[in-house]
Amino acid sequence: MDRLKGKVALITGAGSGFGREAALLFAHEGASVAIADLDEAGGSDTASRIASHGGRAIFIRTDLGHPEQVKAMVEETTATFGRLDILYNNAGVAMEQTPIAEITEHQYAHIMDVNLKGVLFGCKYGVPAIEKTTGGAGGSIINTASMAALRGRPNISIYCASKGAVVALTKSLAVELAPHRIRVNAICPVAADTPMLPKFLPRGAAVSIDAMKKAAVAQIPMGRLGRALDTAQLALFLASDESEFLTGLALPVDGGYSA
């Protein structure tokens, strides 16, 4: 229960899904957790769950498309807990399946704002905070990418591009920040049974979410969808000192999908 004892983690998109599961697990392992999300009810609920088990957590309402809010998110975390050791840029948005000829500029802007811009500015403001408050001891940055960054998927081209950019950003920052002992890694989940999955259905689709899940499972050798805990457990390892010599990786959590 002490793998993150004394550390402070900031997790975006922690009001549900992957982020919530990671926040609960990190707190169980001794971390103080700042929960950032646009969803006030979900984010507050995650913080309350941690507090009810004796952990330390705060909720910070944040729209990652606005860099000034990302800056304030980091500042509130360090003002409350005195330091920042782990930045988990997890928040993301899905994309309704859309053929390339029907894509709109609004879709592009919205997806890139959260999936890429939010990660980039999270790192911009998070890195100096980690350097300042850890006194050179380093820390860990974890970015949520996707198997869609590593394997092409039809009709979600902007989403694939945004997550591919996250992988490239992760690798670049891993090299840049290695002298500062800050590790930067990406997690690439396969289709997972979270609240985001139905948002990948095309608008007005005749296909049901159950049919979508069945089709996804058929492509995964281990015969099930991903679970939020699968991703949270890998994030815990990357956040802990156990991964101190790992950086620049894009790690699939995919039940053999990429094998």
The letter for the amino acid at 202 is: P
> Considering only CA atoms, which of 92, 107, 219 is closest in space to residue 156?
107
Residue 19: how many CA atoms within 13 Å on its side-chain side? 34
Q: Which residues of 20-49 are buried (b: 16+ CB within 10 A; e: fewer)?
A: bbbbbbbbbbebbbbbbbbbeebbbbbbeb
In the three-class reduction of DSSP (H, G, I as helix; E, B as strand; rest coil), residue 6 is classed as coil
Q: Is 159 a catalytic residue?
A: yes
In the three-class reduction of DSSP (H, G, I as helix; E, B as strand; rest coil), residue 161 is classed as helix
Dig out the tokens for 162 from the structure. Answer: 């945004």
Residues 152 and 241: their CA atoms lie apart, in Å, by 33
- Given 88, 125, 159, 257, the catalytic residue: 159
- Using alpha carbons, list the distances in angstroms from residue 206 to 44, 46, 82, 212: 35, 34, 51, 11
Q: In the chain, which residue ranges form alpha helices assigned H by DSSP?
A: 17-28, 40-52, 67-81, 105-112, 118-134, 157-177, 209-218, 228-239
**Would you please indicate which residues are annotated as catalytic (active-site) residues?**
159
